[in-house]
């Protein structure tokens, strides 16, 4: 019997080793094949920008487990690096092999500030070559990008959304009470409403005021930009929003929102003509923008390095996960750039609603230290609020787009406990401690008045520190900062007026200004944002016939479920060691 088990387990081990070697060999062959098939740009090609993607400022690769899950389930939404897309559009506009740009599809996620930068790149392309835009249904984000195209098409049974912006936050206050979860809060700033979804059943008056102002600014920019593209007035667009909302194809044509109403085959014929093909040709030369972006342009770069570092996502204590800004990992990355003599300036690209105060302070300290040896220029993306503003405020110069969401200079502490919920199910706790405050952070009971007062003292101190830092870095009085703080969010265009931002401009403007401050003239190159290679996921994609399954478009139920997921993801990211946060007061979901 002993010999049997010895032989049995030896056989299992041999099979495992052989299987593992075969697995590695198989994926190694795929990697070699993939590496050998370098894409090329055909002559008179149409550059195809499929907007069915999520715009991101960086593009970190998920870990292997996330990659496997995303590919097998088809749940991984494709992402497009915004800087890479802009660079590709600018290169293609002067590339003799590219005949035109074709825009189609519906964005999965993108902020107004990101859209502004991308729209400007599309306009620069259009100044040199034709841009064709077609959709079955134009949403507000996609239409904002395409409104100034050479020709805007809509399908005969399609539509164009011009229904204004709305925000509909979700509130859990009554649900928490019903199920026995109590949330105690400490905060400074009447506009610091990040805690409200967990303790209220509707907006506070202060929150409603700031959301209304922000939406008015964003909608005003949308109307003005689209009106200029379509040679109509913002008032005409407002009238459409008030009376029709979403326009059917013929209505959109009559309102001058589109140039032509046509089915897809007519659009294909127009693209074929631009590519030098006839209607009877089955194919025409084309290349995806994502593919084109990955092809080196062969242009010799300058000698001086301007490094771009992207802070994208919740700011959390520690290393952080993909999609988060870890205080330890990000400050370490910034420190490496500070100590690297080849780096002449740093552009800090911020797209973050904030989060942990401790992590934000770690990062800000590195910004201050880096400024002492080389310029640090801040480029604000969609969000640079609360902790996102904390890490930005000491930049040598701050750039933002009109639709950037920033400010939110305020602090809060959120202290949940599950005592009633647990007790109702027969679960209790007891404790032994050596000091009155030893278990102040416990989730098993409410905080006493004494404990709440002490925590409020901490929150007050950090808020005063925040205001002081902004006053010092922005050369404003504390009273002036206090007047625009209180946790209130501002659009980029308002932030310039208030002195929180220096000037309107995107990442490219920030990069050029960094080169100017570094005194390197035109003899520089941009490194970053770093895009980590995602070889594991790429191999899995090839194995599974090219790409993940297309995810069905979200319906109303999917939107509701997504709201739940976002709120609970937010709760899971609250890991500050003191339980104190500088975070945007809500997740603004424009609809």
Residues tagged active-site: 192, 386
Kindly report each contact of residues 448-457 with a partner whose C-beta sits within 8 Å and lies 24 or more positions away, as own/partner: 452/184, 452/186, 452/415, 455/186, 455/413, 455/415, 455/579, 456/186, 456/413
Cβ atoms of 406 and 386 closer than 8 Å: no
The whole-angstrom separation of Cα 461 and Cα 580 is 11
List, in order, residues 6 or more apart from 449 with CB less than 8 Å away.
none
**DSSP secondary structure, 491-530, as one string:** EHHHHHHHTSS-EE--HHHHHHHHHHHHT-TT-EEEE-S-
Do the strands 246-248 and 151-161 form a parallel or antiparallel pair, or are they unpaired? antiparallel
Q: Terminus-to-terminus CA distance in the chain, angstroms?
A: 70
Measuring CA to CA, how many Å separate 425 from each of 207, 418, 447?
36, 11, 21
The whole-angstrom separation of Cα 480 and Cα 482 is 5
Cis peptide before 463 (omega within 30 of 0): no
| Other beta carbons less than 10 A from residue 400's beta carbon | 31
CA 78 from centre of chain: 13
Cβ atoms of 200 and 171 closer than 8 Å: yes
Name the DSSP letter for residue 147. Answer: T
Give CA torsion, residues 226, 291, 109, 488, to 10 deg: -80
Cβ atoms of 312 and 57 closer than 8 Å: yes
The whole-angstrom separation of Cα 414 and Cα 198 is 9
The whole-angstrom separation of Cα 420 and Cα 179 is 8
Cβ atoms of 41 and 295 closer than 8 Å: yes
Closest CA to 255 of 222, 221, 231: 231
The whole-angstrom separation of Cα 315 and Cα 354 is 5
- Number of DSSP helices (H) and strands (E) in the chain, helices first: 22, 23
Phi, psi at 55, each rounded to 5° = -75, 130
User: Is residue 268 packed enough to be buried (19+ CB in 10 Å), middle (13-18) or exposed (0-12)?
Assistant: middle
Q: Side-chain half-sphere of 303: how many Cα atoms within 13 Å?
A: 4
**139 three-state secondary structure:** coil
Phi, psi at 61, each rounded to 5° = -80, 140
* Residue 19, strand partner residues: none
Q: Side-chain half-sphere of 118: how many Cα atoms within 13 Å?
A: 30
| Unique residue bearing structure tokens 């014929």 | 269
Name the DSSP letter for residue 52. Answer: -
Q: Side-chain half-sphere of 494: how many Cα atoms within 13 Å?
A: 20
Q: Alpha-carbon Rg of the chain, whole angstroms?
A: 27
The whole-angstrom separation of Cα 219 and Cα 238 is 10
């Amino acid at each position: 019997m002993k010999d049997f088990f010895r032989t049995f387990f030896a056989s299992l081990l041999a099979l495992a080793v052989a299987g593992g070697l075969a697995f590695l060999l198989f994926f190694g062959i795929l990697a070699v094949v993939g590496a050998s098939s370098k894409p090329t740009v055909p002559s008179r090609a149409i550059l195809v920008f499929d907007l069915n993607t999520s715009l991101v400022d960086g593009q970190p690769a998920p870990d292997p487990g996330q990659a496997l899950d995303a590919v097998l389930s088809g749940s991984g939404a494709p992402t497009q690096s915004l800087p890479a897309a802009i660079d590709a559009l600018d290169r293609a506009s002067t590339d003799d092999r590219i005949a035109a740009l074709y825009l189609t599809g519906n964005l999965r996620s993108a902020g107004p500030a990101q859209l502004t930068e991308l729209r400007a790149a599309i306009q620069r392309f259009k100044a040199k070559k034709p841009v064709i835009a077609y959709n079955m249904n134009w949403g507000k984000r996609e239409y904002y990008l395409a409104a100034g195209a050479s020709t805007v098409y809509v399908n005969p049974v399609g539509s164009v959304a011009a229904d204004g912006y709305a925000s509909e936050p979700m509130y859990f206050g009554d649900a928490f009470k019903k199920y026995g979860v109590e949330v105690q809060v400490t905060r400074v700033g009447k506009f610091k409403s990040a805690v409200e979804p967990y303790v209220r059943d509707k907006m506070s008056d202060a929150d409603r005021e700031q959301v209304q102002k922000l939406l008015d600014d964003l909608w005003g920019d949308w109307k003005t930009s689209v009106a200029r593209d379509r040679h109509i007035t913002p008032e005409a667009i407002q009238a459409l929003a008030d009376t029709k909302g979403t326009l059917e194809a013929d209505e959109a044509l009559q309102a001058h929102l589109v140039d032509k109403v046509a089915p897809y085959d007519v659009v294909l014929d127009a693209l074929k003509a631009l590519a030098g093909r006839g209607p009877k040709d089955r194919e025409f030369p084309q290349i995806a923008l994502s593919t084109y972006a990955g092809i080196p342009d062969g242009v010799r770069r300058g000698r001086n390095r301007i490094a771009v570092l992207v802070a994208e996502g919740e700011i959390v204590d520690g290393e952080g996960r993909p999609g988060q800004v870890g205080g330890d990992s990000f400050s370490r990355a910034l420190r490496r750039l500070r100590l690297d003599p080849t780096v002449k300036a740093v552009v800090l690209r911020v797209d973050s609603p904030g989060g942990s105060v401790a992590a934000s302070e770690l990062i800000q300290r590195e910004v201050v230290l880096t400024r002492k040896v080389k310029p640090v220029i801040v480029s604000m993306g969609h969000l640079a609020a609360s902790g996102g503003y904390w890490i930005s405020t000491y930049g040598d110069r701050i750039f933002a787009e009109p639709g950037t969401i920033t400010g939110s200079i305020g602090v809060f502490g959120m202290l949940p406990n599950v005592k009633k919920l647990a007790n109702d199910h027969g679960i209790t706790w007891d404790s032994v401690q050596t000091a009155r405050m030893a278990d102040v952070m416990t989730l098993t009971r409410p905080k006493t008045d004494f404990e709440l007062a002490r925590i409020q003292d901490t929150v007050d101190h950090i808020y005063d520190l925040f205001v002081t830092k902004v006053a010092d870095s922005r050369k404003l009085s504390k009273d002036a900062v206090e007047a625009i703080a209180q946790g209130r969010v501002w659009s980029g265009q308002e932030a310039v007026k208030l002195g929180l931002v220096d000037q309107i401009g995107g990442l490219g403007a920030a990069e050029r200004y960094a080169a100017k401050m570094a005194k390197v003239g035109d003899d520089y190159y941009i490194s970053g944002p770093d895009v980590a290679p995602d070889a594991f996921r790429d191999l899995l994609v090839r194995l599974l016939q090219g790409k993940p399954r297309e995810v069905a478009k979200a319906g109303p139920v999917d939107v509701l479920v997504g709201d739940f997921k976002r709120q609970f993801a937010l709760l899971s990211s609250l890991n500050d060691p003191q339980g104190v946060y500088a975070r945007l007061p809500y997740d603004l979901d424009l609809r």
